[in-house]
Amino acid sequence: MFKNILVPIHLSYTKNHKKLFKGAFEVLNEDGKITLLFVNQNRTHGSVYPILDDEKQINYDNDAMEQLKEIARVHSLPMDKVSFKIKDGTVHNEILEEAKKIKADAIVMMATRPGLGSYFISSTAERVIRHAHCSVFVIRLDDIKI
């Protein structure tokens, strides 16, 4: 069982959140904590970055934080065991950095079904698994379209 779990979350894959949280809480120690992490990639995409000023970025991050809290509420997550984090950057890098920063002993994350570009696992999950300094659990996404 793990005491400090990082759970990167994609706000659009709402259908899979229940499955993700079930997996995370199955490996969480009774007195453990979970950090829900959303990575805002807007500044990493060249086509979006020029139209984002600091105020729009702050509003986007605030909206994302509210969505994280709403997701936790909808899934009845115990608020005394959950914290929330928003980071800007490349998803796999920010997951790895945050895991080190909070001294996570596990990461529980979703991954897409394999396709031609990534036969075994999604590229983000693959990078996290390859470079993480802690255990990584991958929860397979259901077939959905966003």
User: What pLDDT score does 118 carry?
Assistant: 45
Q: What is the pTM of this model?
A: 0.85
Look at residue 56 in the predicted model and tell me its pLDDT: 74
What was the pLDDT predicted at 76? 96
Straight-line distance from the first to the last Cα atom of the chain, in angstroms, rounded to the nearest whole number = 33
pLDDT < 50 positions in the chain: 116-120, 144-146
Say if CB 50 and CB 20 are below 8 A apart: no
**Phi, psi angles (nearest 5°) of residue 88:** -105, 135
What torsion, rounded to 10 degrees, do the Cα atoms 90, 94, 96, 101 define? 160
Q: Give me the pLDDT at residue 55, please.
A: 74
- pLDDT value of position 59: 83
pLDDT of residue 117: 47
